[in-house]
Structure 1
Amino acid sequence: MTLNLADIRLEYAKKELSPEDCLPDAVAQFETWLNEAISAQVNEPTAMNLAAIGPDGRPSARIVLLKGVEDGRLLFYTNYQSRKGQALDHSPYVALTFFWPELERQVRIEGRAERVAPEVSDAYFASRPYTSRLGAWASEQSSEIASKAVLVTRAAMYGARHPINVPRPPHWGGYAIVPDRVEFWQGRPSRLHDRVLYTLAADGGWKLSRLAP
């Protein structure tokens, strides 16, 4: 059977968006939409597509989970030695995308990633389930392994080493994304979608504008 992808389409009509509807601060507006996504029980509301540029100059993207919004920054945690960690060591500039199809909404965020303070990473790591903490030690993320048994063996080894308290590995911690460009997209009928762009001004304030769909 041949799939006709060109015929797969939806008509969006749930809500509208204009610059006049938006808060002056881009991150505050994002938090408003995020809270609405959580309240609407959309699937994985904190999942975000993180795109970065590696040392080879090639872009790579993956889904990670947002774990905090603090002081105008978006936080997530990972293995610093993973492919994404190596990319962020090469270039701190990233792009994030949130997609909430149940609300016909998308948010695109661009900015700079910086490592959070060790005590911030320590606090979040301590809040994770015991098995997740062991997994951070067991997985040499993004490296090739011979089989799943390698992970199981390493997890058991670290479990024996840390039967109760699992310290944070030195290669694992958080990043904070400091945004300088944020776009809110609201689906509309006839593909005449609403797009509101925030760009960070030199004085630290946000400029709002409407974009053509």
Structure 2
Amino acid sequence: MKRKVIASGVLLSLFSMNAWCDEDVTAQMELEPAVQAPGFQYFVGLRGGVNLIGSDNTASVTTGDIDSDDDDFGAFGALDLGVYTPNKQGRIYYSFEYHTTTTQFDDEDAYDINVGLHLLNADHIFRSQASVKPFVGLHIGYAFAETDSDFSGSYDDSGVVFGIQAGLGWEVIDDLGLEVGLRHTVLPSERRSWQAENSAGDSVTVETQLKGVTSAYLGATYRF
């Protein structure tokens, strides 16, 4: 009889302990929220800075050649729309950039060159969890370029472009970041002739060939 009582007591003790352990595990699972890996995050960005549009210009009149400024510093602005990959190790985005610069004849402003770029970009971000994040990337897209002046003639060209970019980014507050960078885009390179005028009003034949645009910028991004 005593053996039966002792055996029953042992079984009841084991059952109670097992039930208590199950309740404790269940309570811990309820208290600890599930940790999910960060997913894709959309962003919008604005950039602006200085550019250098490389070009090869030859201007000539009946009396001879005119000195022209082949390369000149200008300004640009850009809008970015895209998405960060999980863990923020990369990003893919569309950007529109608008560049402008002024070309001179005989040390006088002659005409503006305006370049618009529609680009698809892909960046790889190093040290994505650090406070300062270096990145490098590639871009490809379509560009149009044209002159803006009071001349009767004008230059325009368009075509597929490609290039590279690199920079540094850092977070200011949650979801808001700043970055600085350099970009270079190879522009359509077909050489075209068009008509302009010099300061004396003489007709000038200009041959223009764009090479590329290099830019340095400061930008801000907002993730949502």
- Normalising by structure 2, we get a TM-score of 0.28
Q: Considering only CA atoms, is the larger Rg found in Structure 1 or Structure 2? A: 2
The structure whose residues are more often helix, as a share, is 1
The structure whose residues are more often strand, as a share, is 2
- Normalising by structure 1, we get a TM-score of 0.29
